[in-house]
Structure 1
Amino acid sequence: MNIPFTMLEKSELVAEFIKEAAKEKMVQLKGHRSVGGGMRVVAFLKEFHARHA
């Protein structure tokens, strides 16, 4: 299941999120038409949020 979302409060972390997700073998997350260019992701979101909240 994909969950489209955007990082509105901390948009400066988008590039870092994509970079770290790639290390976890998650690619092609950036861009999803249903949220106007947001990202798609799975469980990695919770772990990333915990480190950057």
Structure 2
Amino acid sequence: MPEWIRKLLFWGFIAFLIYFMAFRPDGAANIFKAIGAGLVAMFQGLGDFLTSLAP
């Protein structure tokens, strides 16, 4: 993929995030909470797996 397309997509994504947070703060907060909860669940599962490997 050409470099200019990657830069365009990156800055477009950043602009969308700023727009989304400015005009739909409740929706943006809910999305970030869901992402955070998913990450916590993923690391909790990894921790449980590693704990079960210990003798």
User: Does the pair score TM above 0.5?
Assistant: no
| Structure richer in strand, relative to its length | 1
Larger Rg, first or second structure (1 or 2) = 2
Give TM-score, length-normalised by structure 1: 0.29
Task: Provide the TM-score with structure 2 as the length reference.
Answer: 0.28
- The structure where helix makes up a greater share of residues is 2
